Amino acid sequence: TTFDLDEYVFGALRAGASGFLLKNAEARELIEAVRTVARGEGLIAPAVTRRLIAEFAAESRPAPRTDPSVLEPLTPREREVLSALGAGLSNAEIAVRLDMAEATVKTHVSKVLGKLGLRSRVQAAVLAQELRV
């Protein structure tokens, strides 16, 4: 997009986007972004990232728009994985943090996405931030 307005970023992420780049991104950045998303990771334009993090970290955030009961199907371990996704960790970082194999993390991420009806780990991260998991 040509717009780096917060409402465009948040709307795109809530709608299921796995990444968000600005129109002025270099060709190599676009190629790497596609590869990143193809690996199941998310990517946000660096110019937008600081504001996005600040928005989620703000103490005066509005109450979550999502009912916390949506997390009921998750096991305690899946909730830990969701929390790590909300912190923006990669599968390798989650594996280290939660002391499990990276393949196990991938399985948990897939189960979290399936149980919550989400299409990407970026959507899971947004949900985790909104619910303060």
Q: What is the pLDDT of residues 40-64, one digit of tens each?
A: 788 887 777 767 766 666 644 555 5
Q: Is 48 helix (H, G, I), strand (E, B) or coil?
A: helix
Tell me the pLDDT tens digit for each residue of 90-107.
899 999 999 999 999 999
The Cα–Cα gap between 43 and 34 comes to 9
Amino acid at 31: I
Q: Is residue 39 part of a domain?
A: yes
Higher pLDDT, 14 or 131: 131
Q: Can you list the positions of beta strands (E) in 28-110?
A: 43-44
d(CA 72, CA 116): 9
Q: What is the pLDDT, as a whole number, of residue 12?
A: 79
Residue the block writes with tokens 């989650």? 94
Domain that holds residue 36: 6-57
Is 12 in the same domain as 39? yes
pTM: 0.59
Mean pLDDT confidence for 21-45: 86
Residue 85 amino acid letter: L
User: Is residue 62 one of the residues assigned to a domain?
Assistant: no
Q: What mean pLDDT value characterizes the chain? A: 83
